Structure 1
Amino acid sequence: MTPLSFPNIDPIIFSLGPLHVRWYGLMYVLGFLASYFLVRKQIREYHYDRLAEHFENLNLVLILGVVVGGRLGYVFFYNFSYYMAHPLEIPATWSGGMSFHGACLTLLIAGWVFCRKNKLDFWKSADIYIATLPVGLGLGRIGNFINGELYGRVSDLPWAMTFPGGGPFPRHPSQLYESVLEGVVLFIILWSVRKRPWQQNHYWPHGSITALFLIGYGCLRIVVENFREPDQQVGYVIGLFTMGQLLSGLMVGSGLLIWLLRLKRNAH
């Protein structure tokens, strides 16, 4: 069976002199816009006036957190030795190389600091924002696919395709798997239960959506990593797991811990 050919979409949409507008960057912009409108919708639904007062400033802080944390996460988790030898390339986010685990960690820290400083309820605010995160995740994976990066392992399935830089053998389009699972499926789950903490449900205290996201994303990412080619410069950690699986396992554990602690606090 002849494998599918990679569509070979030009990563650059158009250029204006030295400025290149890329699909990868556009996906981030669309993700931020989707989150902006979906968060604003929830603020109105829940009459969360305190968050409305700080909405624009918090958005700016979180966007910076995603970009800086995502890039630094990739540098430290996936390619530390290379970037230590080429430090001037660290800011080059337009060429790809972002770690969601790093972005997620920075997002939570930046959000906590902002909420504490402005006397906002962190868990209420976090749930509202995190319910929208899968949209950006799904779009980001489409950007990875267009870039021809983060492709899957060799496969003989009918939809396997050859990727530039992936050798002559057909591979799983694992970026699309992630777009569907971490984007569409996870968004449907979170969006369908997002109102539970606001209904004074004992089993769904504020912070539950955040915990559910960490558990859901971590589990789905661990599954998809079985189809994704491990990063060549990292390979397997402890001889068994990819770096993505290891970091996702920590996310699952963190999510379970948050849910249990929030349940315990809510019970009192």
Structure 2
Amino acid sequence: MVDSIRQYLSWYGFLFSLGLALVWVLMRIAAIARADVSRYFVDRLMLWISIGVVFGGRLGYVVLYEPEEFLAHPVRILSLDAGGMSFHGGLIGASLAVFLLGRASGYSLWALADIASSSAPIGLLCGRIGNFMNGEMYGPPTTLPWGVVFPSPGPERRHPTQLYEMLTEGVLLLVLLYPLNFSSWSRRHLGSLFGLFLIFYALVRIAIEPLRADNWNYQLAGVAVTAGQIYSLPMIAVGLVILGRSLSAARLRDRV
């Protein structure tokens, strides 16, 4: 088990840690630009978020994807090569960390959520590169020129689904959301960046998920769907509610 953990962490662990460090840097820059959160508080917040991401991500995978397997063999929870981490669990863990620390700090929870969520795509970007380097979460065979031969599945060229997710969950979301921290719009619409993050991430995940060869398929109203798609659907609803609340609150303030 120790050797399997060491092998899994060789690339993914390094890039996961790098991603958290870059998220921290971007959060600090955003806090300075927005001036509604202390950059020194961001240091403390990032520690809590990191703990929430790690524990939430691992626990989320165990609970959401293979609960029966891990109940039968609890020691496998420590084997990170047995499934790895769950984004949705990590999101819940990070959100809980922001809520608990933010509530005690006196800062706006929505401002903290905006800064954290708009910086998060750089961490997703690094994580997907780690998946690519580990040769996991690849797609089905393809004849497209950018197909990649991965070591474990065989000699066929396959969709580099990890890179598709890197470009969408990482680069695209970062370009769309992070610059808004430097405008007055995000300060007038607190919570909007968090809502947009939830909506855009869920849409991207739902669109790309079928290209992952490691998926667990279910039937929903007669349509084949994946677990990742099912878990992403509530994100759209929650994101729309948060975004609607943010826009409505800004309109009410403008009328006063």
Same fold (TM over 0.5): yes
- C-alpha change, 1:146 and 1:84, in structure 2 (3 Å) is same
State the match for 1:211 in structure 2. 195
- Superposed CA RMSD in Å reads 2.3
Structure 1, unpaired ranges of 5+? 1-14
SS of residue paired to 1:240: strand
State the match for 1:142 in structure 2. 129
**Aligned-pair distance for 1:230?**
4.2
- C-alpha change, 1:237 and 1:117, in structure 2 (3 Å) is farther
More helix by share: 2
State the match for 1:245 in structure 2. 229
| Residue 267 of structure 1, aligned match among 226, 251, 255 | 251
- C-alpha change, 1:68 and 1:127, in structure 2 (3 Å) is same
State the match for 1:3 in structure 2. none
What is the CA–CA distance in structure 1 between the aligned matches of 2:43 and 2:106, rounded to whole Å?
A: 16
- C-alpha change, 1:237 and 1:30, in structure 2 (3 Å) is farther
Is 1:191 paired with 2:191?
no
Is 1:101 paired with 2:121?
no
* Deviations 1:125-160 (CA, angstroms, capped at 9, x unpaired): 111111111111011011111111111123222222
State the match for 2:119 in structure 1. 132
What is the CA–CA distance in structure 1 between the aligned matches of 2:44 and 2:155, rounded to whole Å?
A: 48
Deviates more, 1:162-171 or 1:24-33: 162-171
What is the CA–CA distance in structure 1 between the aligned matches of 2:39 and 2:104, rounded to whole Å?
A: 16
| Residue 236 of structure 1, aligned match among 218, 222, 236 | 218
State the match for 2:141 in structure 1. 154
What is the CA–CA distance in structure 1 between the aligned matches of 2:18 and 2:186, rounded to whole Å?
A: 31
Is 1:29 paired with 2:29?
no
What is the CA–CA distance in structure 2 between the aligned matches of 1:237 and 1:91, rounded to whole Å?
A: 31
**Aligned-pair distance for 1:166?**
2.1
- C-alpha change, 1:267 and 1:131, in structure 2 (3 Å) is same
Is 1:119 paired with 2:112?
no
Percent sequence identity is 37
Question: Contact 1:22/1:94 (CA < 8 Å) preserved in 2?
Answer: no
Question: Contact 2:186/2:193 (CA < 8 Å) preserved in 1?
Answer: no
**Aligned-pair distance for 1:88?**
1.6
State the match for 1:83 in structure 2. 70
What is the CA–CA distance in structure 2 between the aligned matches of 1:27 and 1:108, rounded to whole Å?
A: 22
What is the CA–CA distance in structure 1 between the aligned matches of 2:67 and 2:140, rounded to whole Å?
A: 24
- TM-score, reference length from structure 1: 0.83
State the match for 1:10 in structure 2. none
State the match for 2:60 in structure 1. 73
Question: Contact 1:73/1:101 (CA < 8 Å) preserved in 2?
Answer: yes
Structure 2 counterpart of 1:41, which letter? I
- TM-score, reference length from structure 2: 0.87
What is the CA–CA distance in structure 1 between the aligned matches of 2:17 and 2:131, rounded to whole Å?
A: 14
| Residue 38 of structure 1, aligned match among 16, 20, 26 | 26
What is the CA–CA distance in structure 2 between the aligned matches of 1:81 and 1:197, rounded to whole Å?
A: 49
SS of residue paired to 2:211: coil
* Deviations 1:206-244 (CA, angstroms, capped at 9, x unpaired): 10111111111111111111321242xx32353521111
Number of paired residues? 246
